[in-house]
Amino acid sequence: MKFKGAILLSLLFFGTAFSQDSSFVPLPQDTIMPLPQDTIVPFPQDTIVLLPQDTAFVPLPDAIDIFDTTSRDTTIKPGFYFFALLGVQFIDFKDRAKFQNLLDIRFAELKASYLEDSLGLFPQKQDFQKVNLTFPIAAGLIWQLNDMHSFGLGLSFLYSNESVILVDKHGENYNLRYALRAFPLFTEYRLLISPDLISLRNGDYFSLFLRYYWMLPGTEIYSTWGKAKADFEPLGNGFGVFLGYRFAEWERLSFFGEIGYSSLDVKSSDKNRVLASWNLGGISIFIRIMI
């Protein structure tokens, strides 16, 4: 019986051993099978990956705003700068009524000539504009003391030409005109208005510009009815007050928008002058480029 039991145990042992997969070949313990670089090993959806306690996450920086001025210095540094002004001005020229009156007189003469024989065409008239619009330009130098104060010296030029046409009974055209020309020399003082008082965006600011003017030779009125050369006034011819806003900057280059009012009284001592005095001031809008 003992011999049969031993044979039975042997058969069970060998049957179990040969029932396993005979193709399995064990690898040495130090063997590492590298995966290709682009291989992605997916985790089951419910897998939770535990990181060591000392692992720290570094947040990615937010998108950089190139228009954000809080992280860069936008102060205008002390020193000398060149500037140029381009703008539009509505000249406060109230004496335009005198030239309109001279035009009406000339037209009345043409009508009287027509009524004498009632032959030909009825005379036609074109009136002067009621607004004198000009596009002044200026250039100069600025001495920037600090971010609050600066002084400037500039020369500007403005020109306004008003022209109309009269047609007589024969169909002949007559061109009548008057023109305003001026060469204002000015000094200016700029005062920074604190951003705590008025501001639209961090780093940019408003400024107050105060200007004083002298009319240089070449300032005059010339017209169909005569002309008047302006006298040079050593004490000056007027002033201007402007509010400016620096809306853009890059390195030393700055851009300002300005709006304000000026009063420029001009006098002429010519014997045959068409006007004894007139004003070339008014409301102006400028774009200032400073570098």
- Residue-level pLDDT at 44: 59
* Residues 240, 222 contacting (CB under 8 angstroms): no
Tokens 């090993």 belong to 41
Counts for the chain of helices (H) and strands (E), in that order: 2, 14
pLDDT tens for each residue of 145-159: 988 899 999 999 999
Classify residue 73 by burial, with Cβ atoms within 10 Å: 0-12, 13-18, 19+.
exposed
Q: How many CA atoms lie within 13 A of 125 on its CB side?
A: 15
Residue 9 lies in a domain: no
Domain count, the chain: 1
Q: How far apart are CA 107 and CA 17, in angstroms?
A: 131
Residue 79 lies in a domain: no
Task: Find all residues with CB under 8 Å of 51, minimum gap 6, and list them.
Answer: none
Tens of pLDDT, residue by residue, the chain (291 residues): 444 444 454 544 444 444 444 444 454 555 555 555 555 555 556 655 555 566 554 454 454 443 444 445 667 889 999 999 999 999 999 999 999 999 999 999 999 988 888 788 999 999 999 999 999 999 999 999 988 899 999 999 999 999 999 999 999 999 999 999 999 999 999 999 887 777 666 556 899 999 999 999 999 999 999 999 999 999 999 999 999 999 888 888 999 999 999 999 999 999 889 999 999 999 999 999 999
- 208 assigned to some structural domain: yes
Tokens of 253: 């280059």
Task: Indicate whether 141 belongs to any domain.
Answer: yes
| 22 lies in some domain | no
- Domain around 205: 84-93+128-163+178-290
CA-to-CA dists, residue 148 to 5, 142, 205, angstroms: 112, 13, 11
Q: How far apart are CA 23 and CA 42, in angstroms?
A: 28
Sign, CA dihedral 281-282-286-290, equals positive
CB 246 within 8 A of CB 204: yes
250 lies in some domain: yes
Q: Strand, helix or coil at 93?
A: coil
Cα–Cα distance, 138 to 85 (Å, whole number): 5
Q: Look at residue 42 and tell me if it is in a domain.
A: no
Q: Is residue 29 part of a domain?
A: no
The answer to whether the pTM exceeds 0.85 is: no
User: Residue 246 contacts by C-beta under 8 Å, 6 or more apart in sequence?
Assistant: 204, 205, 207, 254, 255, 256
Q: What is the CATH number of the domain that holds 153?
A: 2.40.160
Instruction: Give CA–CA dist 200/119, Å, rounded.
Output: 68
- Measured distance CA(259)–CA(282) in Å, rounded: 11
């600011």: which residue's tokens?
205
